[in-house]
Amino acid sequence: MTDTASSPKPPAPSPPLSSPPGSSPPGFSPPGAADERLAQVGVLTTILKRPDTGAFIGAVAVFLLFAWTARGVNWAGDPGIWSTWLNTAAYDGIVAVPVALLMIGGEFDLSSGVMIGSSGLLLGILTTKADWNIWPSIVVVLLFGLAIGFVNGFTVVKTRLPSFIVTLGTFFMLRGLNAGLTIKITGGVSINDIDKAPGFDFAHKLFASTVWNKYGLAVPVVWWLGFTLVAAWVLSRTRFGNWIFSVGGDPVAARNVGVPVARTKILLFMATSLVASTWGIMTAVALRGMQSNEGVGREFEFIIAAVVGGCLLTGGYGSVLGAAFGAMILGMAQIGIISSGWDSNWVYFFEGVVLISAVMLNTAIRRRAERAR
């Protein structure tokens, strides 16, 4: 496990990676941090204090649980089953990456789920109704994602309304557009035959093929890994990463030390919508079509992955790597229940138990580590 995403709030003392980079202005660390840094802390405490430790332990525990309950289908040893739950995890994990950053920055985006559908439908309309090549269509869809993200962020920053409300409004508007415009343009609630667009084959290779054909490991897993590594690097190694923590922790203090709070938040909203659009494109290419309901309700899975991964609902604390573990827990839970042959009517119940346990574990570990300090 690389040290990717410590928060400055309890600064991890020993590994050099986690201290704020030299380029950031002084005064970034919360008051009192300088003193703590001098204290001697054991390696175990250092690990336990990481926001993603709880999620990692939770992921291992859930894996072991299903390795036992689904031993009949060789849950632990069959790479095909690994692929199944890793694919499922990637489908949640890709968008959970920017959602985690946004939550660390102190905001929510409830429109991230429905953006998947909007983007896929837009891609479908451009390729099948306007007969565009798929690549310019993809560029337009990504610009659309950036624009929606900008509107979200700008509205939140300018009106100072809670992002929960602003993006809930965006959610409903996009949902209405998805149904209304699709029916108006196609006469149906779905768009088909995206694969007839020129350039589709390469797009399919890039977004929707398998990297390990024998076991069905899907390309999105690679994208997920890539997004996670990039975001973890940004969060822990760049000035912008420090800005994210500071605007989520205390925006007033952040502004006082010169952090461009508005710009940071708007960029985070834009990143979230951009990645949701990317996933919408990938879904549309994979399914060779799109129906207007796609993505609705998924925003909670992204938020859950981030929260299970150690992000605080209040902002200022969290980890991208943790969100990846959170997505793995969700993926394993969804597949493991089926692999274990449990009555699928209990899916919701089990997911609830997993979530509460994971978050409780997170909190318990964090409190214990903070006491140990």
Taking the complex as a whole, the smallest distance from the CB of residue 83 to other proteins amounts, in Å, to 9
Task: Supply φ then ψ for residue 190, to 5 degrees.
Answer: -145, 160
State how far the Cα of 296 lies from the Cα of 118, in Å rounded to an integer: 10
Please choose, out of 4-12, 85-93, 97-105, 308-316, the segment that lies near other proteins by the rule CB under 8 A: 85-93
Contact flags string 239-278 toward other proteins, x per CB under 8 A: ----------------------------------------
Bridge partners, residue 218, by sequence:
210
Contact flags string 99-118 toward other proteins, x per CB under 8 A: --------------x---x-
State how far the Cα of 280 lies from the Cα of 118, in Å rounded to an integer: 8
Q: List, in order, residues 6 or more apart from 221 with CB less than 8 Å away.
A: 86, 87, 89, 90, 211
Taking CB under 8 A as the criterion, the residue among 189, 225, 229, 361 binding other proteins is 189
70 binds other proteins (CB under 8 A): yes
Residue for token pair 């879904």: 283
Please choose, out of 44-52, 224-232, 334-342, 354-362, the segment that lies near other proteins by the rule CB under 8 A: 334-342
Helix (H, G, I), strand (E, B) or coil at 216: coil
Contact 235, 320 (CB under 8 A): yes
127 binds other proteins (CB under 8 A): no
Taking CB under 8 A as the criterion, the residue among 9, 50, 298, 366 binding other proteins is 298
Taking the complex as a whole, the smallest distance from the CB of residue 277 to other proteins amounts, in Å, to 15
Record the tokens describing residue 82, joined without a space.
């690994």
User: In Å, what is the CA distance from 262 to each residue of 21, 122, 126, 244?
Assistant: 22, 29, 33, 11
187 binds other proteins (CB under 8 A): yes
Contact 134, 124 (CB under 8 A): no
Which residue type is seen at 233?
A: W
Taking the complex as a whole, the smallest distance from the CB of residue 184 to other proteins amounts, in Å, to 7
Taking CB under 8 A as the criterion, the residue among 28, 56, 63, 91 binding other proteins is 91
State how far the Cα of 274 lies from the Cα of 149, in Å rounded to an integer: 7
192 binds other proteins (CB under 8 A): yes
Q: Give which of 59, 58, 120 is closest to 298, Cα–Cα.
A: 120
By beta-carbon proximity to other proteins, the closer residue of 173 and 189 is: 189
Helix or strand (DSSP H, E) at 197: none
345 binds other proteins (CB under 8 A): yes
291 binds other proteins (CB under 8 A): yes
Taking the complex as a whole, the smallest distance from the CB of residue 336 to other proteins amounts, in Å, to 8
Contact 170, 147 (CB under 8 A): no
State how far the Cα of 43 lies from the Cα of 99, in Å rounded to an integer: 30
In the chain, beta strands by DSSP E = 190-192, 210-212, 217-218, 289-291
Record the tokens describing residue 365, joined without a space.
């570990």
By beta-carbon proximity to other proteins, the closer residue of 82 and 317 is: 82
Taking CB under 8 A as the criterion, the residue among 19, 216, 250, 350 binding other proteins is 216
Please choose, out of 30-38, 41-49, 69-77, 227-235, the segment that lies near other proteins by the rule CB under 8 A: 69-77
286 binds other proteins (CB under 8 A): yes
Which residue type is seen at 181?
A: L
Taking the complex as a whole, the smallest distance from the CB of residue 197 to other proteins amounts, in Å, to 16
Question: Which residues lie near other proteins (CB under 8 A)?
Answer: 70, 72-73, 78, 80-81, 84-85, 87-88, 91-92, 113, 117, 183-184, 187-190, 192-193, 216, 220, 283, 286-287, 289, 291, 293-298, 334-335, 338-341, 344-345, 347-348
